[in-house]
Amino acid sequence: MNKKINEINPQTLAFLAKCLADENRLRILFCVSKEKKSVSTIVEELQLSQPLISHHLKELKRSLLVNVERCGPFVYYELSDDRILSILEKLSELGDDLLKARISF
């Protein structure tokens, strides 16, 4: 059975969307979507400062979008749920289509 519209809580939804509304956080999510990665690896791959990455990882953790796991001196982050990725894909596709539709008028 599917969720009905009126069961949706705009507050919860806004909280999640806010976390997804930053380009760097999205890049981090994609970065850790295939496999867990250490902070230093993410820093290297995304070419952003370590404190900035740490700050965004903290936000992503607070929003429960990533799982954290310490292993020795390294801290590994990974996507907490694969649906995150599929939702972002759908949103991206929608964005593309909206843009296409606009241009074609």
Partner DNA sequence: TCAACATATAAATGTATATTTATATAATTA
Partner DNA sequence: TAATTATATAAATATACATTTATATGTTGA
Contact 55, 83 (CB under 8 A): no
Burial group, residue 60, by CB count within 10 angstroms (0-12, 13-18, 19+): buried
Q: Which amino acid is at 67?
A: N
Find the shortest distance in angstroms from Cβ 105 to DNA.
19
**Range in contact with DNA (rule: CB under 7 A) among 1-9, 44-52, 78-86, 92-100:** 44-52
**H helices present in the chain, as ranges:** 10-20, 23-31, 39-46, 50-62, 82-103
Q: What part of residues 55-74 is at the interface with DNA (CB under 7 A)?
A: 55-59, 68, 70, 72-74
Residue ranges in contact with DNA by CB under 7 A? 18, 21-25, 38-40, 43, 48-52, 54-59, 68, 70, 72-75
Residue ranges in contact with a copy of itself by CB under 8 A? 2-3, 5, 7-18, 20-23, 26-27, 30, 33, 64-65, 80-81, 83-99, 101-102
